[in-house]
Amino acid sequence: MTKLKMVLNKEFLKKHLLEIGVILCFVLPPVGIIWLMCIGWNHLKDTIDLKVPFYLNATTFLFICFAIATLGASFSQDNEAYLLMFAMVLGYLGLYLYIKERATLSLIRRFKWIMIFGGVFIVIFGNIMRTFEVSNVILGGLTGTIFLGPSPSSDGRLFGSAYNPNFASFLLVLILSFLLADQLKRQSHKHIFKWEYILIVTIIVGIFQTGSRAGIGVMFLVLILFMLRLCPKIGMIATTILLILHNQILDLLPRFNMLSEAIHERKEIWETSIRIWKEYPFFGTTPLGYRHAYDQFTHPEPHAHNIFLGFFTEYGTIGGLAFLFIIMTFTLKLCCLLFINAENKTLLNFFLLSLPVIFFTGIFDHPLVSPQTALLTVVLLACFDRYTGSVPFLQKTVLYVNYKLVRVIYLENQRMTRVEKQR
């Protein structure tokens, strides 16, 4: 009986390795990060041993470029510590390949709901911890309740188990997009559960409590996109109202009185990041070396507060161009899913609402600098590539364009024929 239980436990663990790792990323972030990294390293080892296939696409190309950049930075700057980033990038690559090999609709659904309840946990646990002072560094580091950022404190902002309010805001906006996409699906099937509205309100309140102006701005963009998908007319009306009342809406932003100061600070960080990129153009500084490189110009800064500049400074021109390439690839895939009459559109709204969160949040922040948020994003990207892998996008696009072209030529010939007959 004991042996049977051990076998069942092993089978359960093997079957739900990913789900357990995602749960741990919210409850015990360091353990969850190491858990998912170990999955990635182990799978990459199997790939090298030719036990599992390797997929060469835009995403794996991105990770390969990041790995080359970290190696180049380590050798060119003679800093062995940067090899830690090389190991981390390999973990990202291995995790991506693991999910790309195994992702199913049921796994994506489980990932979605684990993320949703993880977001609720961040809000509830974060509000509990806001009333207490975590003085134990080890306990705070293990639970993600110790603030990690440029300022000495979080100023009462909510961040739960995400170490930083901006990282928590990114996760909560991503989770909000999951909930809204689920509402679009239920709307089409006429099944609406009121308790899901409670979850949506909880997440929105949490986003405001993080005090992240970028997060709240992206939240409004996601809500507009949701309304456009729900009903284009309502979406257009809502967009118009937001544009008319933008001054009143800006007053609702947390720390609005510090907005001009924040814009000036961002401008300084971006200008300095460009100078760092010019200083280390090929391989960058890696995320570990960015703070030291920034300190050479002015006061220390943990990251570029812009995902594009961040990747160019951390991984050089090699990594920056690879990131631009993956942005273009994912945009093409989303457009094809949206406009081409593909049969498989089950998760269209799920990805249409969630993937832009990465791009828009990255304009004023760099959420992927945290391994916790980066690993969860890797899971999402791998699920998207797996989901869209069975759809021949380029072929469908070419066929669609050719069909439209042939139809236009045919209609024009018909018109010319009628004109000639009338003459």
Residue with tokens 């946990």: 121
Extract long-range pairs of 395-402: CB within 8 Å, 24+ residues apart: 396/336, 396/340, 396/342, 397/336, 397/340, 400/339, 400/340
DSSP-based three-state secondary structure for 391: coil
Task: Give the residue numbers spanning the domain of 340.
Answer: 105-390
Same domain for 414 and 322: no
Q: What are the DSSP calls for 182-197, one per residue?
A: HHHHHHHHT---HHHH
Extract long-range pairs of 330-336: CB within 8 Å, 24+ residues apart: 330/58, 330/355, 330/381, 330/384, 332/393, 333/384, 333/388, 333/393, 336/391, 336/393, 336/396, 336/397
Q: What are the per-10-residue average pLDDT scores of the chain (423 residues)?
A: 56 84 95 96 92 89 95 89 92 95 90 95 88 73 80 70 91 95 71 76 92 87 89 80 70 64 77 86 87 71 80 92 93 83 73 93 88 95 87 47 48 61 59
**Does a structural domain hold residue 20?**
no
Secondary structure of 289-353 as H, E, C letters: HHHHHHHCCCCCCCCCCCHHHHHHHHHHHHHHHHHHHHHHHHHHHHHHHHHCCCCCCCCHHHHHH
**Does a structural domain hold residue 157?**
yes
Same domain for 357 and 419: no
Same domain for 317 and 301: yes
Which of these, 22, 197, 44, lies nearest to 113 by C-alpha position?
Answer: 22
Same domain for 268 and 398: no
Same domain for 243 and 172: yes
**Does a structural domain hold residue 57?**
no
**Does a structural domain hold residue 53?**
no
Same domain for 412 and 324: no
- Structurally, the chain folds into a number of domains equal to 2
**Does a structural domain hold residue 217?**
yes
Same domain for 319 and 420: no
Same domain for 167 and 246: yes
The pLDDT value recorded for residue 135 is 63
Same domain for 371 and 342: yes
**Does a structural domain hold residue 3?**
no
Same domain for 402 and 279: no
Separation CA 321–CA 306 (nearest Å)? 15
**Does a structural domain hold residue 401?**
yes
Query: What's 79's DSSP letter?
Result: -
Separation CA 347–CA 98 (nearest Å)? 20
Same domain for 253 and 147: yes
Same domain for 371 and 411: no
